[in-house]
Amino acid sequence: MLVEIYPNKDVEDFEIQRKAATVSFVGSGLSVDIVPVIEDPKRAGYGWQFDLQDESKMETCAPCQIKFVRDRKDKDKDFRTLVRLLKKWRNHAELKPLKSVIVELIVAYDLDTEGNAGTIEQRFCRILLYIAQSGLKEKIQFPENIAPFGEFTDPVVIIDPVYSLNNVASRITEAERIDIVAAAQGAWEAAHFASAEDDNEVWKEWFGPRFRIEEAA
């Protein structure tokens, strides 16, 4: 079915995960997570997302997730650009546990808590610094979250804005958390230096040789 939806892709282009399939687009450098959901006939817009490994299921709401992102985009014209920048950094740093939805939620949390003041470059650095300084040990949740809330002991806790009993980052291990934080610290130091020196080559070290500084402008 995925190949039918993306006729220019082959089966090998999809990375099958526990709850999603990731497809990468070489031209843009972007990757997209495709999450199958079985509709709940009793609740419009809600459905069940299944884990291929342990066969567990989790309630979710695709229209609610779309509204969550749309509300942030309405508040911040640069929201999507920041998400793309963080994903580009993640891909180049090979931080696979930092899934696309987690990147999106971290950017949303930064917008909710810090606002949209500053340039894209400054805000990108601010997000990296948050990851480095917090160590991703702070629980992240959103105004949309409503009770009941889950109790989590995972290394990283990011509450699903549409289902408060779900920790979106539950699959990140302690070792992976440490790797992500270390990569963010190194990227922040390099980005801070690159901005101060106006040195595009340093940016390319963290985004890849095809990165153009105009993307961060």
183 occurs within a structural domain: yes
What pLDDT does residue 176 have? 98
CATH number of domain containing 131 = 1.10.1410.40
d(CA 181, CA 169): 14
Overall domain count for the chain: 1
Residue 19 contacts residue 170 (beta carbons within 8 Å): no
20 occurs within a structural domain: no
What pLDDT does residue 61 have? 80
What pLDDT does residue 109 have? 98
Q: Of the candidates 151, 150, 168, 149, which has an alpha carbon nearest to the alpha carbon of residue 160? A: 168
Domain that holds residue 103: 63-216
179 occurs within a structural domain: yes
162 occurs within a structural domain: yes
What pLDDT does residue 216 have? 45
14 occurs within a structural domain: no
**pTM of the entire predicted model:** 0.76
Task: Give the tens place of pLDDT for each residue, 177-186.
Answer: 999 999 999 9
139 occurs within a structural domain: yes
18 occurs within a structural domain: no
DSSP string over 153-172: -SSS-BEETTEEEEETTTT-
Quick check: 195 pLDDT over 80? Answer: no
161 occurs within a structural domain: yes
What pLDDT does residue 217 have? 41
